[in-house]
Amino acid sequence: MLTSIALFAAETAEAAEKAGLPQLNATSWPSQLFWLALTFGVLYFLMSTYFLPRIGAALEERRDRIADDLDKAAEGRRLAEETEAAYNRSLGEARARANVIAAETRDEVGAEIAGLQKEAEARLAEKSDAAEARISAMRASAATKVRDAATDTTRAIVEALIKESPVDAVVSAAVAKATGKV
């Protein structure tokens, strides 16, 4: 069966060959050429004058638009970078100014504190001087009173011992001699 099929195929091909290629039948050539020229011509005309320019224009338009948008984006970026630089610059300036102000304030406050301290110290010194003076005055008066008491006592003792009232100067001298210099 298979061989007969193969045979049949071979026979068919042979028969086809015998019948000739329809392509080589020249009677249909004028008609084919005529309609080829007509259809191809119409297609060429429409393509070259209408369709292709339209597609080309659309592509061109898009290319221009993209280039435009890219330009705009680059411009925007440049602006953003400029703004950032300006911001950084002003930030630096502000920081420097803040440092100056801080230093100035620190100095002022320091000076004020020093002034107040000096004043307070002066007041304290004055007070302690006065107190010292009062203390030494009190000490002196106390010593005088002790000496007077000693003189009186000495006199009283002497009167009691010898029934004689000694001269003040002598008593004082004796007291002084006994107590040492005051």
Task: State the Cα angle at 125 between 122 and 128, rounded to 5°.
Answer: 150
Minimum distance from residue 17 beta carbon to another protein (Å): 9
Query: Which of the 8 DSSP states describes residue 163?
Result: S
Q: Which is nearer to another protein, 23 or 180 (CB)?
A: 23
Minimum distance from residue 10 beta carbon to another protein (Å): 10
11-40 burial: b if 16+ Cβ within 10 Å, else e: eeeeeeeeeeeeeeeeeeeeeeeeeeeeee
Q: Which is nearer to another protein, 60 or 81 (CB)?
A: 60
Q: Which is nearer to another protein, 48 or 128 (CB)?
A: 48
Q: Which is nearer to another protein, 37 or 102 (CB)?
A: 37
Minimum distance from residue 49 beta carbon to another protein (Å): 9
Cα separations in angstroms, 80 against 16, 84, 88, 113: 79, 6, 12, 49
Q: Which residues bind another protein (CB under 8 A)?
A: 1-2, 5, 8-9, 11-16, 18-19, 21-25, 27-37, 39-40, 42-44, 46-48, 50-52, 54-59, 61-62, 65
